[in-house]
Structure 1
Amino acid sequence: MAGDLSMGVCGYLYTPAYAPWPEEELAWLKAHGADPLWHDWGSRTYLEELLQGVASGSVQQVLLVRLSDLGDQLDEVHGRLLQIQQAGVRLSLVRADGLQTPSTAGEWIPLLAEVPHHLQSRRRRQSQAQSRLAGKPPPGPPPFGYRREGGRYIPDCRQAPIVQDFFRHFLLYGSLRQAVRFIAEKHHKRISVATGRNWLLNPVYRGDLAYADGTVLRDTHPALLSRTEAAQIDRWLKRNQGIPRRSASASRALAGLVHCRACGSLLRIVQTTPSKGKRNGSSYLYLRCQTCRYSLRYAEVQQEVIRQVCEQLPQRLQTLDRQALAQTRQQLQAQLQANAERLRQLEELRQAGLLDEPSLAQRCYQLRAETARLAQKLEQLPPANLTQTVQTLSLLPFWQDLSESERRAYLREVLRKVEVDSTGAVQITFAFDPL
């Protein structure tokens, strides 16, 4: 971007090819009267023209955001800075809080001391950007379960089984705390609950790479978690967001789901213990409302909840706009196919010599990031076999054959909330019902 060099105040900004568009810095220069405003992206074509204008005397003041924009090496920056000063041109630095025009040696020293740091930071970001465009892992140690080899992650034969056992236990029981305790007991690997949650959310274990700019690239290395398992984990975590953490990890199927219709508080699950004199007495589970002071038999509430699920779930399925879901699925699949075709065409342009490597890498990176976003949206849609799943969940014998942990898994899949009152009346709200 450039204007006529006949004007006296000229702004110059350099942006590496990998960096985002510097809207804020351009706005700073414009706000301080930079006209013309020269912006180099990757190359330094406009910088040479600026220096020609300085030598010809048509520029009276140069506005910069940082001195390191004048070159890629320290001697380049010093040489061009000296060229501007010897021409009698005033140089000012634009900051977020105003304009700084150094004139004395005391004002120049700290500014010149920043240049080596800025150049080193730029080279580091450029190296990281090149690795990112090539689909290589970000800097830093690899996540637990992987090691670096040949510029990519590969599973570590000693650590990967621990991570996979953690995922299997969580998928089976849906309890994060139990999964953390499980690997501590079986593998003597102690991690915090927060670390376990990070494992569940980390794209690395799904075969993807996530970068600091929020971009995710799919299928960059072998995964420790299949796409189906990852989608199941995402649904588990989404269902558990509105449930207290202890209830989310509790073993009972109704933990964290049952609320009092009168006061809205969450009912606690309490187990009675027979007294010492009643050896033959049996213990019972109760749902207790601490606010309204009443208790309900847990087994009776659970049976009524399951009965209503079997009765109402097929009816709720009829109200879903399955045609709209199918259309959305088809649109996402068509966009994914279109992106795959664009990637193929880019490779043909590269082989024909019609596209340079930096532009090709940047465009491929953008397409792969967009593909990852589309694929994530597709995976978050209800499963294609939703009708068959609903038919199975509508059979009462199916629920009777399940363990308590398995009932909890299915109930949290289909239910958002269960409301009860002191009389034992039950009202369920499905997860896909409108809020």
Structure 2
Amino acid sequence: MKIIAYSYTDPLLETAPDLTIWGWEVDEIYQDLGDRQQLEQLFQDCHIQPVNYLLIRQLEELGDSVEEVCDRLTELEFLNIKIISLKSDIKINQDQAINRQATKTDLLKLLNQIRQNQHSRKIRQAHARNRMKAIPPPGKAPYGYRRGKDRYTLDRSAASVVKDFFERFLLFGSLRGAVRYIEKKHGKKISVTTGRRWLSSPVYRGDLQYQNGEVISNTHLPIISREEAAQVERLLRRNSSMPPRTASAPHSLAGLVVCRECESPMITARVTTFRKDREYLYLRPKSCSRKRKCKALAYQKILEQTIEIICRELPLAVAALEMPNMDGIKSKIKQHISEKQEILCQLPNLVANGIFDRETAELRTYKLKTEISQLESQFNQLPPVNLLETAKAVSIPQFWWDLSESERRFYLREFISIIEIIRQENSWDLEVIFIF
């Protein structure tokens, strides 16, 4: 008994399957990539030496149309070769249908399934060819852009709204605040979910992201710079670990302080005098579980001690870290990007000299651009400054007192994971836990 296997792979849509997928003791495997030369070789070999079984993933891999598939099924029937399909969604017995022992209804179902699968493949091939040319995906252009001939172009009035949205978020770190701001200033009402999608969308960075998740960089004019985009991503990561509604709280310690005794987060409470000519700030437990409730503490005193601890302990904590050589890492990534860009520049000459055909060059160009995008994303996620130098700068108390509350909130969350209040009988102390 002789068993062979055949697979067809469109390089625009997928990679060739692993040879172990067949799970049988296969005597010979035929694989086609982009054309069907190996399929023709398969038929020639079968005329010379009989074959009992042909393993295939799906019947539509035998041709580009229903007619081609039917012709090849007929030829396989003539050669008395039984087909075993591994990944078919068809609910009927295919062997019977192929050998004309099934009902006409079964045959119609089989042909209809093949036709639908091939139609879906043609649509995906068209989308893939557009990806090769860095043409935007189908559908309406994102807010802030218009769809041009082969790329997005800026919609000046809408782009200014998006720009203000990002600037507001970068200034205060508040998604909801930025949403309210553009509604008040520009009359543009969006949901918080839409705002979050704007912040994470590659489109506003000048990149295209397709349904398969791959990103191509620098395909159109960006609304925000790479530096701003990296800062947005850092703010989003930081805010994701904070309690709800503390990302844009007006006080810099919001969301950071926890009572060690009752394990409750501390929230800011404002108290005014009778005539409201003075205001006092306190931190009190949000939900103290103790019978004798933990007392509220003066906000300013906790802030002062927090800054004192940071100035004293942060440089020591950073110095104790085994920091990687960030300059070396950045230099290595830049070198990889440069190497791939050099290969891109060589592709037109390879096509002109007949070494590559146009389709192969387009596929290689697309893969290189997606690899460059991945490297650029890695580069942008690296810390923008040297942590040791930054720790020295922020260890000066006056640095903290010269900041506004929103600026102080930003820097505190850059370095601090949590601030624990350690209560004693008649006093209290703080333990500041850094993020590293």
User: Is residue 432 of structure 2 the alignment partner of residue 428 of structure 1?
Assistant: yes
Q: How far apart are residue 385 of structure 1 and its match?
A: 5.6
User: Is residue 5 of structure 2 the alignment partner of residue 11 of structure 1?
Assistant: yes
In structure 1, the gaps of 5 or more residues are: 1-6
User: Secondary structure of the equivalent of 2:96?
Assistant: coil
User: Secondary structure of the equivalent of 1:245?
Assistant: coil
Match of 2:56 in 1: 64
Match of 2:112 in 1: 113
Match of 1:3 in 2: none
Distance of 1:385 and 1:31 partners within structure 2: 53
Q: Which amino acid aligns with 1:283?
A: E
In the TM superposition, what whole-angstrom CA distance separates every residue of 1:255-313 from its partner, at most 9, and x where no partner exists?
Answer: 11112233443211222244xxx225633221112325221111111122223323333
Residue pair 1:142, 1:148 contacting (<8 A) in 2 also: yes
User: Is residue 287 of structure 2 the alignment partner of residue 283 of structure 1?
Assistant: no
Q: Which amino acid aligns with 1:12?
A: Y
Give the TM-score normalised by the residue count of structure 2.
Answer: 0.88
In the TM superposition, what whole-angstrom CA distance separates every residue of 1:373-422 from its partner, at most 9, and x where no partner exists?
Answer: 22222222222465664454333333323221121112112222222223
Q: How far apart are residue 147 of structure 1 and its match?
A: 1.7
Q: Which amino acid aligns with 2:283?
A: L
Q: Within 5 A, what are the aligned runs for 1:42-53? A: 42-53=34-45
Q: How far apart are residue 69 of structure 1 and its match?
A: 1.1
Match of 1:78 in 2: 70
Between the two proteins, the alignment pairs up a number of residues equal to 421
Match of 2:126 in 1: 127
Residue pair 1:210, 1:217 contacting (<8 A) in 2 also: yes
User: Secondary structure of the equivalent of 1:421?
Assistant: strand
User: Secondary structure of the equivalent of 1:279?
Assistant: coil
Match of 1:240 in 2: 239
In the TM superposition, what whole-angstrom CA distance separates every residue of 1:329-383 from its partner, at most 9, and x where no partner exists?
Answer: 2222222222222222334323332222222222222222222222222222222
Greater displacement, 411-420 / 310-319? 310-319
In the TM superposition, what whole-angstrom CA distance separates every residue of 1:63-90 from its partner, at most 9, and x where no partner exists?
Answer: 3322211111232222222232344433
Residue pair 1:180, 1:190 contacting (<8 A) in 2 also: yes
Distance of 1:127 and 1:151 partners within structure 2: 14
Match of 1:354 in 2: 355
Q: Which amino acid aligns with 1:18?
A: L
Q: Which amino acid aligns with 1:17?
A: P
Q: Which amino acid aligns with 2:149?
A: G
**1:54–1:108 CA distance, 2 compared to 1 (3 A):** farther
Q: How far apart are residue 160 of structure 1 and its match?
A: 1.0
Greater displacement, 399-408 / 109-118? 399-408
Give the TM-score normalised by the residue count of structure 1.
Answer: 0.88
**1:56–1:286 CA distance, 2 compared to 1 (3 A):** same
Q: Within 5 A, what are the aligned runs for 1:406-421? A: 406-421=407-422
Residue pair 1:235, 1:413 contacting (<8 A) in 2 also: no
In the TM superposition, what whole-angstrom CA distance separates every residue of 1:198-238 from its partner, at most 9, and x where no partner exists?
Answer: 11111111111122333222111111111111111111112
Distance of 2:88 and 2:126 partners within structure 1: 27
Distance of 1:317 and 1:60 partners within structure 2: 69
Q: Which amino acid aligns with 2:170?
A: L
Distance of 1:429 and 1:311 partners within structure 2: 13
Match of 2:141 in 1: 142
User: Is residue 338 of structure 2 the alignment partner of residue 334 of structure 1?
Assistant: no
User: Secondary structure of the equivalent of 1:294?
Assistant: coil
Match of 1:38 in 2: 30
Q: Which amino acid aligns with 1:399?
A: W
Q: How far apart are residue 322 of structure 1 and its match?
A: 5.5
Distance of 2:198 and 2:413 partners within structure 1: 21
Q: Within 5 A, what are the aligned runs for 1:19-30? A: 19-23=13-17, 27-28=20-21, 30=22
Match of 2:266 in 1: 267
**1:405–1:31 CA distance, 2 compared to 1 (3 A):** same
Residue pair 2:257, 2:265 contacting (<8 A) in 1 also: yes
Residue pair 1:239, 1:416 contacting (<8 A) in 2 also: no
User: Secondary structure of the equivalent of 1:159?
Assistant: helix
Q: Within 5 A, what are the aligned runs for 1:315-326? A: 315-321=316-322, 324-326=325-327
Q: Which amino acid aligns with 1:38?
A: Y
Q: Within 5 A, what are the aligned runs for 1:123-272? A: 123-272=122-271
Greater displacement, 390-399 / 171-180? 390-399
Residue pair 2:16, 2:33 contacting (<8 A) in 1 also: no
